[in-house]
Structure 1
Amino acid sequence: MVYDLCPINLLCKLTSPSFPSTSPASCLHLQVNASPTFPSSFPCKLPSPISICKPHLSLHFSSPLYTILVSLLCLTSQAKMDVDMMLNEKLKMIDDAITKKKTKMDCHPEVPITPAEKMNAYDSVFTLCNRPRRDYSNLVYEKYTNYLTERIQERALPVLMDKHGTELLTEVMRLWSEYKEFASFLSKIFAYLDRYYIPKRGLLSLDDSMRYHFCNLVCDKLFSKLQGAMMRLIIQERDGGQIDRNLLKTVSCLLFEVGEKGTVNCYEKLEQIMLAEVAACYSQLSLERWFWGDSFSNYLRKVDWCLNQEEARAELYPSPTTKTKILDVMKYVMLERNAEKWVQKRIAEGIAAEDQELLSKYASLKLE
């Protein structure tokens, strides 16, 4: 049988009238002489040092046993209160520093955050993660992630939900910049987590966690609107329009940077959409327009020009494989897929001498 030795529970049993008047022989019965407001008998289950039955013991409020139990209860209660006070005090120091940072970023840039406040917040994290009997590292890590998600939900999502097109892309980049500044501030306060707790538990680092939450809560949630706005810019530029190429580049870099850290790789999804659009666009141009109206030499010059244009446009994409994939899709759609038709057309029409070098450039596609 397992006995409860906690002083708090023990005293509760001593003062509880709900226990039966008899108890097993292996238990010690305590006879309490108290004022009329208390029952006269308070049986209590205590561990017996030996297997034989113990005699009844009279326990007065002035007896040494009662005094010891009360002292243990007071010590236990005081220790718990001290721990709770310490925990609340340390968490408040962290909250105060971060609340000041939010206020400074959102509406009052003049609000100062002193080095002492930052140090107190860092010291609070260090203390909570190094408690000898109870480690609060898990609580501290959850607090860090909660600060990130709350910042996104309170600051970013309400602003972005009603934005579209170029305005959406611009706001995403502005809020991403603000979010990185806030996360950088947090990472300095919670830096101790990256040293021991996170590697030991195999969790996302502070930096990776920052990207993970932004990817899931912003990029993935708004991906349909983001890719739609980006594809309109790409098509507009292909058609000869002027666009903000730097904006397109920075958003692409953002998706590439956070893509691998989220549950969904947003950049890979965007890349697949771009490849499908390229295939559809140049398939229509090659077969529905150029094939019937141009000579083979003229068609080959147009293909070469389009490849050069797309190669230049693809320079802004952060992944080096994106450009290769786009050019490979174009070559397949415009040349390789219908290679036999182009060979027949070349044989029937011939090819100008000045285009022989251009033809040799695509010799691997077997157009000769």
Structure 2
Amino acid sequence: MATEIMEWAEGWIYMQQGVTKLKRILEGLPETQFTPEEYMMLYTTLHTLCIQKPPYDYSQQLYEEYRETFDEYITSTVLPSRREKQDDILLQECVKRWENNKIMVRWLARFFHYLDCYFIARKSLPPLHQVGVNYLRDLLYQEVNADVRVAVIGLVGKEREAEEINRELLKNVIYVCVEIGMGKMDPYREDFEEHMLRETGEYYSRKASSWITEDSYPDYMSKVEESVKREKYRVSDYLQSSSEKKLVEKVQHELVVVYATLLFEKEHSAGS
């Protein structure tokens, strides 16, 4: 007996309803959670749309609609949500959006599971997870990373001056920077670490210019030791371990190398 054909318009209505419901849940709008029956309907519908013979195999259309779903959601909902936000509020919004994006990727990967297993592998296309991350990176991250960097470096500066900051928020933002690289550290290094190291050098250069005139040699070296210790703690608290060596070298350069001659004189004049 011939299998009943499911047309694209009929099948996509079911899929679109599931996508819309997922968006409402992510945005905190009134909506019930997915039931096992709804999930099975979505999975069965997509499976049916993919296994039919041409011209009723809609795998390519489904893949394009998956991409369009992320494009539309980020453009119409995510991007407007971060505008007019600054400092901690901006960082909180970015972390929230990244977490929501991961949830969306995870759920849509379930709905579109058949594509990942068969169609994408056969066509050598980017997998569903990568598509979702790429859209967030290309549409949101590229727009906000300069503002986020300023906010993060500002928090680091406050923490250096012993002001109370939200370290957990800082750690989460740095983690987003790392995760969005999908195994590569380029976003962390280029979009944050390089700027943070430059700011660190400027900070300790200012400190050194006053300490070198005010402090005795033992007091000055005690501050150097304490500064190095604090930067190591900062790495373990919310930065990546790869930053430790660079931070320590930056501190030692500004506090010791730059003032090596004066420190030598201080040391020997104190002992004479």
TM-score (norm 1): 0.66
Question: Residues of 2 paired with 1:292 and 1:175: CA distance?
Answer: 48
1:121 aligns with 2:42: yes
The counterpart of 1:226, out of the listed 139, 145, 148, is 148
Give the secondary-structure state (helix, strand or coil) at the position aligned to 1:221: helix
Question: Residues of 1 paired with 2:129 and 2:160: CA distance?
Answer: 37
Look up the match of 2:66.
Answer: 144
Q: Residue 107 and residue 302 in structure 1: after superposition, are their counterparts in 2 closer, same or farther (change >3 A)?
A: closer
1:185 CA drift (Å)? 1.5
Q: Do 1:152 and 1:217's aligned partners in 2 also have CA atoms closer than 8 Å?
A: yes
Structure 1 residue identity aligned to 2:35: T
The correspondence of residues 43-62 of structure 1 with structure 2, limited to 5 A, is none
Structure 2 residue identity aligned to 1:249: K
Q: Do 1:256 and 1:318's aligned partners in 2 also have CA atoms closer than 8 Å?
A: no
Structure 1 residue identity aligned to 2:100: E
Q: Residue 108 and residue 226 in structure 1: after superposition, are their counterparts in 2 closer, same or farther (change >3 A)?
A: closer
Q: In terms of mean alpha carbon deviation, does 276-285 or 115-124 score higher?
A: 115-124
1:221 CA drift (Å)? 0.6
Q: In terms of mean alpha carbon deviation, does 181-190 or 128-137 score higher?
A: 128-137
Q: Post-superposition, which runs of at least 4 consecutive aligned residues in structure 1 deviate over 6 A? A: none
Question: Residues of 2 paired with 1:106 and 1:260: CA distance?
Answer: 25
Question: Residues of 2 paired with 1:266 and 1:222: CA distance?
Answer: 14
Please list every run of 5 or more consecutive structure 2 residues that lacks an aligned counterpart in the other structure: none
Structure 1 residue identity aligned to 2:79: L
Question: Residues of 1 paired with 2:95 and 2:24: CA distance?
Answer: 21
Q: Residue 252 and residue 112 in structure 1: after superposition, are their counterparts in 2 closer, same or farther (change >3 A)?
A: closer
Q: Do 2:228 and 2:248's aligned partners in 1 also have CA atoms closer than 8 Å?
A: yes
Structure 2 residue identity aligned to 1:325: K
1:98 aligns with 2:49: no
1:165 CA drift (Å)? 0.9
1:323 CA drift (Å)? 2.2
Question: Residues of 1 paired with 2:124 and 2:238: CA distance?
Answer: 32
Please list every run of 5 or more consecutive structure 1 residues that lacks an aligned counterpart in the other structure: 1-81, 352-368
Look up the match of 1:40.
Answer: none
Question: Residues of 2 paired with 1:220 and 1:86: CA distance?
Answer: 38
Question: Residues of 1 paired with 2:255 and 2:120: CA distance?
Answer: 51
Structure 2 residue identity aligned to 1:115: P
Give the secondary-structure state (helix, strand or coil) at the position aligned to 2:51: coil
Q: Do 1:212 and 1:261's aligned partners in 2 also have CA atoms closer than 8 Å?
A: no
1:278 aligns with 2:171: no
1:277 CA drift (Å)? 0.3
1:279 CA drift (Å)? 0.7
Look up the match of 1:154.
Answer: 76
Look up the match of 2:252.
Answer: 331
Larger-gyration structure (1/2): 1
Q: Do 1:211 and 1:261's aligned partners in 2 also have CA atoms closer than 8 Å?
A: no
Q: Do 2:24 and 2:31's aligned partners in 1 also have CA atoms closer than 8 Å?
A: no
Question: Residues of 2 paired with 1:148 and 1:267: CA distance?
Answer: 27
1:293 CA drift (Å)? 2.5
Look up the match of 1:86.
Answer: 7
Structure 2 residue identity aligned to 1:313: R
The counterpart of 1:346, out of the listed 263, 267, 270, is 267
Look up the match of 1:258.
Answer: 180
TM-score (norm 2): 0.87
Count of residue pairs brought into register by the alignment: 267
Question: Residues of 1 paired with 2:71 and 2:114: CA distance?
Answer: 20
1:266 CA drift (Å)? 5.1
Question: Residues of 2 paired with 1:105 and 1:296: CA distance?
Answer: 58
Calculate the aligned-residue CA RMSD, in Å.
Answer: 2.5
Q: Deviations over 1:194-224 (max 9, x none)?
A: 2233334443322222222222222221112
Look up the match of 1:207.
Answer: 129
Question: Residues of 2 paired with 1:294 and 1:233: CA distance?
Answer: 28
- Tell me: higher relative CO, structure 1 or 2? Use CA pairs within 8 A at least 6 residues apart: 2
The correspondence of residues 178-217 of structure 1 with structure 2, limited to 5 A, is 178-217=100-139
